[in-house]
Amino acid sequence: MKKFLHVVSNHLLMMKYFLKFAPAYFIMNFLFCIYVSFIDMLTGAYSIKYIFNGLSEGKTFKDILIFLVFVSLAMIVRHMLGALCAEYLSATGWIKLKAGMKKLIFEKARRMDLVYYETPKFYTDFVWASSQADEKISEMYYSWCVFAARLADIIFLGGFMLVTDGFLMLFAFTAIIIRLVFNSLIVKRRYKMHVEAKPHERERDYISRVFYLADYAKEIRLSDIHKTLFKRLKDTMSRIWKINDEAGRKITVYWVISELSTGGFLDFLIYLYLCFKTIVKKTLKFGDLAALISAVWKFAYRAGEFINVLTDMGEQSLYVDNFREFLAYEPKIECQTGLDAPNKPTLISMKNVSFKYEGSDSCSLRNINLDIKPYEKIAIVGYNGAGKSTLVKLLMRLYDVSEGEITMDGTNIKDFATDSYRACFGSVFQDYKVFAGTIAENVEMNFVSEDRYADIEQALVNSGFTNKLKSLEKGIMTPLTREFSKDGINLSGGEEQKIAIARIFAKQCACVILDEPSSALDPISEYNLNQTMMTLSEHKTVIFISHRLSTTCMADRIIMLENGEIIEDGSHDELMMKHGKYAEMFLKQSEKYRV
């Protein structure tokens, strides 16, 4: 009973979403399915009985004509409702449903903490929800419609059989029980097959994605990596085939036993019984015999479909468990409510901060103590893997610290509303992205109103995008990428980076964080950008990461990290005087520019 209630609960959850997003189609099509079952019984078994028995009992032509007119009118209504549901409500209903489900899932994903994206299980649940939720909900709705129609068939046909010869119901329920048992075995084996295949299907889909995404096109053509990918694809498909082959053998055995028991042996007994009642006992009229043969055949077929749909609903419920798990993820950082953060530069302090990534055995940052004063310009340097990007992600509260605390103006940043706290920062990371939208949308990172046009254009000028912008006929309304617009443009890496940098110039914020802001720029563009950045950020706190130590000379303070710890702290001149790790790194880089 508990399992049954769980299945019902899962189905009601998904039908609630269907009813919410496409109510007209949900209700009309559901009622139409029941009406079709009534028409099927009316034009089948009942019509056969009425006409055959009517002829033998001496009914007039007028009586039969009136009955046929009634049946014809009912059929006309059926076809009119069918056209309404299939051609109009279906076309609009599915679109509304898919749009609603995508919005629900993506809004949930947007609210998830960044740490979830490093968890394989979250990815599995998210991928399932985003790729299959709308497909599964449509399957479940179809099952509900079939369930309602087949239940109506069983009631209409069963009632007719019960009135005509109730003993036939014993055969019918025997067939239902046999199908129910074997279908339950089939569902469990099929679900196990899908669970075992899912990790391999994810790997198969990844390889497929690599071959059609433009990001990988050059590397594939300029190397032999395709050989490795082909080998992995072959191995993956082989494992999927083996899983399906093993499951398919067992499912086939279950299905054959079920069909032989019901479609063979029981059908023989039913027809033998009806012939005995008509020929030997003479208790059935020929009209009753013809009608019952039709009713019994349809009842057996419909009962089989009813059991199949119950089986499908149980199987579909297992997938809804994945969807529930995705919905059950709750953010600990994103969309958190709390205090309003200060809207001006203020003291930011990291006190005994340590951080360990999910699943990692060692800390990426250890015992960090750092005060960042208002309006201070700080450079964070160090070799790859030193913990630089992790430190700024903690400052922006993309992650929470594992130990210690970060405060702003003396208040733990966890006490601030997440959106309010993040609004204090303008940032550009080294793995920035541009989107298939206009230049203005990519700078504003939001809907763009006309009163913002001038600010967006000025931000692009400040980032060094002026010459390119002047060459564009549509200016800031030019679409980026040609994926959805033939008028779109593809920019170079440096040009894309300038658009990303323009975002911080367009945003009103107290603190600017730059993670390798000029990695794709030429030295002259980098110099001009740094000069502009320092001038326009005079009244802001600036924290930047750079591997080009020529940039760090402009900073008030330089923080050097190594193995997740601060090993040096001071101005450029002070650190050069120490002859430590920073000086060593700076001198190695400067040798490249000496004549």
- Residue 74: both structure tokens together: 């009912």
Residue 266: band (very low, low, confident or very high) from pLDDT cuts 50, 70, 90: low
C-alpha to C-alpha distance for 101 and 122, rounded to whole angstroms:
18
HEC sequence for 262-285: HHHHHHHHHHHHHHHHHHHCCCCC
Q: Are 504 and 426 in contact (CB under 8 A)?
A: yes
pLDDT in tens, 195-219: 888 788 878 888 887 777 767 776 7
DSSP letter for each residue of 347-396? -EEEEEEEE--TT-SS-SEEEEEEEE-TT-EEEEE-STTSSHHHHHHHHT
CA distance 552 to 570: 11
- Identify the CA nearest to 117 among candidates 393, 516, 316: 393
What are the tokens at 221?
């053509």
CA end-to-end span of the chain: 84
Q: Taking residues 470-495, what's their average pLDDT?
A: 84
Mean pLDDT for 285-298 is: 72
Mean pLDDT of the chain: 82
Distance CA 109, CA 112 (A): 5
Nearest to 182 by CA among 304, 264, 265: 304
pLDDT value of residue 523: 65
Residues in the chain: 595
DSSP state of 546: -
374, pLDDT greater than 70? yes
Token pair belonging to 244: 């399906």
- Position of tokens 């001006």? 344
Angle value at C-alpha 211, between 210 and 213, nearest 5 degrees: 65
Classify residue 557 as left (phi > 0), alpha (psi -120 to 50) or beta: beta
* The residue type at 3: K
Greater confidence, 432 or 419?
419
* Residue 562 identity (one-letter amino acid): E
Helices (H), 22-89: 23-41, 47-57, 61-83
How many Å apart are CA 22 and CA 95, to the nearest integer?
Answer: 9
Whether the CA torsion 560, 565, 567, 569 is positive or negative: it is positive
Looking at residue 224, its pLDDT comes to 74
Q: At what angle do helices 168-212 and 267-275 cross, to 10 degrees?
A: 150
Predicted confidence (pLDDT) per residue in 537-566, tens digit: 778 898 888 777 767 788 889 999 999 999
Q: Is residue 593's pLDDT more than 60?
A: no
pLDDT score of 594 more than 60: no
pLDDT tens readout for residues 516-540: 766 656 666 666 667 777 777 778 8
Give the whole-angstrom CA distance, residue 124 versus residue 271. Answer: 51
Residue type, 14: M
CA distance 447 to 440: 9
According to the model, what pLDDT value does residue 160 have?
Answer: 77
Q: Smallest Cα–Cα separation from 580: which of 554, 550, 572?
A: 572
Distance of CA 483 to the CA centre of its chain: 21
Per-residue pLDDT at 346: 92
Q: Is the dihedral of CA 467, 470, 471, 472 positive or negative?
A: positive
Q: How far is CA 524 from CA 127, 181, 464, 527, 529, in A?
A: 44, 76, 11, 5, 9
Output phi, psi for 370, to 5 deg. Answer: -155, 130
Residue 148 has pLDDT above 60, yes or no: yes
CB 149 within 8 A of CB 34: yes
Q: What are the structure tokens assigned to 514, written together?
A: 């730059």
Q: H-helix or E-strand containing 559? A: strand 557-562
Report the 3 state secondary structure along 414-470. HHECHHHHHCCEEEECCCCCCCCCEHHHHHHCCCCCHHHHHHHHHHHHHCCCHHHHH
DSSP summary character for residue 409: T
* Residue 85: predicted pLDDT: 83
What is the three-class DSSP state of 404?
strand
pLDDT above 70 covers a percentage of the chain that reads 90
Say what the pLDDT of residue 520 is.
Answer: 58
Cα separation, 103 vs 96, whole angstroms: 11
Q: Is the pLDDT of residue 414 over 90?
A: yes
Lowest mean pLDDT of 215-219, 232-236, 401-405, name the range: 215-219
The CB density around residue 5, as the number of other CB atoms within 10 Å, is: 9
The pLDDT-based confidence of 391 (bands split at 50, 70, 90) is very high
pLDDT at 592: 61
Categorize the per-residue pLDDT at 140 as very low, low, confident or very high, splitting at 50, 70 and 90: confident
| CA gap 419, 422 in Å, rounded | 5
